[in-house]
Amino acid sequence: MKITATDVKNSFGKYLQYALDGHEVIITKNGRSVAQIAKLSDDYIREEEALYVANKKMSYEEFILFTEESDFRYELIDGEVFMLASPSFEHQDISIKLSAKFLEFLKDHKCGIYNAPLDIRLKRDENDQNTSVVQPDIMVICDKENRVDGKYMGIPELVIEILSPSTRSKDMLKKLDLYTFTGIKEYWVVDPDQNLIFIYYFEDSKILKTNSFKKPEILESFLYPDFKIDLSQVF
């Protein structure tokens, strides 16, 4: 079976399962075969000359080796690797509108608004041996100076994830659990299908406050009480 790189981005799990079932899967780019997903006897899958570990937790060091030469985007959450699909037009539209609102609000603030792709490295506590690497859709970063070799090494104050069919479970369960314990103060989950935004406010590794706002309501942030958004201008 031959598939395009775009097919892989959009349906990685599907083609991975084909390979695990013993089928040959060739990835093409610009009409040329460039990589292969294949089942190996030691349960490793070689993709773009990097190792994707199947049925096995991946360490942070393994993840860095796996992704450093890849053209694709991945996240590492508690040892599990997730491939990120290209965002939809609707996703991008909402992201730009929310970012613009934050940009205006933060124009005289020390914090800044940033968008994916930007790797955020998180640990649940100082004793956690597992480093997770995520790429939130939108981030408010106040410790911009916390960088090493051009890579951001701090913790955003606020993160936003815009749901899609492929990320809904991960964003609402795995990421909510991760963000609760890592020093992030506020988490927004944007549901384009329902014209709805959930807000979680964290303190001492607990969900202290929650709220939800639906178009045409006015959203209010816990972290920035003066920051309000008319959701009719977002959805």
- Say if residue 193 is exposed, middle or buried (CB neighbours under 10 Å; 0-12, 13-18, 19+): exposed
Instruction: Determine, yes or no, domain membership for 82.
Output: no
Given a contact cutoff of 8 angstroms between Cβ atoms, the answer to whether 198 and 188 are in contact is yes
Instruction: Determine, yes or no, domain membership for 42.
Output: yes
Q: Based on the domain organization, do 104 and 68 belong to the same domain?
A: no
Chosen domain end from 45, 76, 107: 76
Q: Based on the domain organization, do 105 and 45 belong to the same domain?
A: no
Q: How confident is the model at residue 228, as a pLDDT?
A: 96
Q: What is the DSSP string of 85-108?
A: PPPPHHHHHHHHHHHHHHHHHTTT
Given a contact cutoff of 8 angstroms between Cβ atoms, the answer to whether 113 and 106 are in contact is yes
Tokens 């690797």 — which residue? 81
For residue 47, what are the domain limits? 2-76
Q: Based on the domain organization, do 96 and 205 belong to the same domain?
A: yes
Q: Based on the domain organization, do 109 and 48 belong to the same domain?
A: no
Specify the 3-state DSSP secondary structure of 76: strand
* One pLDDT digit (tens) per residue for the chain, 235 residues: 777 877 766 676 776 777 777 777 787 777 777 677 766 544 333 333 333 444 457 889 988 888 887 888 999 999 999 888 889 999 999 999 999 999 999 999 999 999 999 999 999 987 777 899 999 999 999 999 999 988 999 999 999 999 998 889 899 999 999 999 999 999 999 999 999 999 999 999 999 999 999 999 999 999 999 999 999 999 9
Specify the 3-state DSSP secondary structure of 165: coil
Q: Based on the domain organization, do 113 and 207 belong to the same domain?
A: yes
**DSSP state at residue 39:** B
Q: Based on the domain organization, do 106 and 202 belong to the same domain?
A: yes
Q: Based on the domain organization, do 109 and 225 belong to the same domain?
A: yes
CATH number of residue 119's parent domain? 3.90.1570.10
Q: How many domains does the chain have?
A: 2
Q: Based on the domain organization, do 108 and 221 belong to the same domain?
A: yes
The two three-digit tokens of residue 47, written as one number: 């993709």
Q: Based on the domain organization, do 107 and 150 belong to the same domain?
A: yes
Chosen domain end from 48, 76, 104: 76
Q: Based on the domain organization, do 94 and 192 belong to the same domain?
A: yes
Instruction: Determine, yes or no, domain membership for 84.
Output: no
Instruction: Determine, yes or no, domain membership for 154.
Output: yes
